[in-house]
Amino acid sequence: MAAVTVLLVGTLFSQETPKLVAFDSLWANPKPYAGQRIALNSFVESESGAGFKLAERQNSGDKAKAQPSPLQANWMKDATKISLQKGQEVLVIGQVQMQDNTPILRVANVMTDKDAIRRFIRPSERMPRPGDNLGHDAQPSKSLSN
């Protein structure tokens, strides 16, 4: 199992890291992204056999803000398909293709783990590890200070 995980991680990171693109930026001007490999943080609006639709944020009844239309995301032929839930936050990695001046995301990989999504979005943030505060919190013993 560990060998499979290492192989998967190695394959993912051996490729060029995709550029994180904001949902509204993609909808406002999709042509510069055509053919590029991107990462898109969004929410699942609906799922179908060939793919799923992505929305900018979760729908909440009390917010009447105009949102862009959902983005169609279709699985690539060799992608590992996973089941997604409506309203689930995802980080989708894929290639933008244009069809009738509308962007469509060809999905290579989907991250659903919230911690993995946060690490991808904010790579400079790191989780504290046990022992990180030893330099600040540790007090020298009396025998060492004498």
Taking 70 as the threshold, does the pLDDT of residue 7 lie above it?
no
Q: Which residue has the tokens 């949102």?
A: 67
| More confident: 137 or 109 | 109
| Residue range 21-42: mean pLDDT, rounded | 93
- Residue 26 near residue 71 (C-beta atoms within 8 A): yes
pLDDT computed for residue 30 by the predictor: 93
Q: Are strands 37-47 and 19-21 parallel, antiparallel or unpaired?
A: parallel
DSSP letter string over 119-130? HHH-TT-----T
Query: Is residue 119 packed enough to be buried (19+ CB in 10 Å), middle (13-18) or exposed (0-12)?
Result: middle
pLDDT computed for residue 32 by the predictor: 94
- Residue 54 near residue 94 (C-beta atoms within 8 A): no
pLDDT computed for residue 50 by the predictor: 85
Distances (CA, A) of 115 to 28, 69, 111, 126: 28, 27, 10, 11
Query: What amino acid occupies position 29?
Result: N
Q: Each residue of 101-133: pLDDT tens digit? A: 899 999 999 999 999 999 988 877 555 666 655
Is the pTM higher than 0.85? The answer reads no
Q: Each residue of 37-92: pLDDT tens digit? A: 999 999 999 988 789 999 987 555 545 456 678 999 999 998 888 999 999 999 99
